[in-house]
Amino acid sequence: MSKRERFWETVPLTKMSEEEWEALCDGCGKCCLNKIEDADTGEVYLTRVACRLLDDQSCQCGQYEIRKNLVPECIRLSPENIDSHAYWMPTTCAYRLLWKGRPLPDWHPLLTGDPESVHAAGVSVRGMTVPEFEVDEDDWEDHIIEEPT
- Quick: pLDDT tens for 67-104: 999 999 998 899 999 999 888 899 999 999 999 999 99
Q: Is residue 2 part of a domain?
A: no
CB-based burial label for 98 (10 Å; 0-12, 13-18, 19+): buried
**Residue 42, Cα to own-chain centre: how many angstroms?**
19
Domain count along the chain: 1
**Distance in angstroms (rounded) separating the CA atoms of residues 94 and 53:** 21
Q: Could you list the beta-strand ranges (E) of the chain.
A: 33-37, 44-50, 130-131, 144-145
Q: Is residue 45 part of a domain?
A: yes
Max CA pair span of the chain: 46
Q: Is residue 1 part of a domain?
A: no
Q: Is residue 106 part of a domain?
A: yes
How would residue 1 be classed by pLDDT, with cut points 50, 70 and 90? low
**Distance in angstroms (rounded) separating the CA atoms of residues 78 and 52:** 22
User: How much of the chain, in percent, has pLDDT values that exceed 70?
Assistant: 99
| Domain housing 131 | 7-145
For residue 95, give the nearest of 2, 16, 42, 1 by alpha carbon. Answer: 16
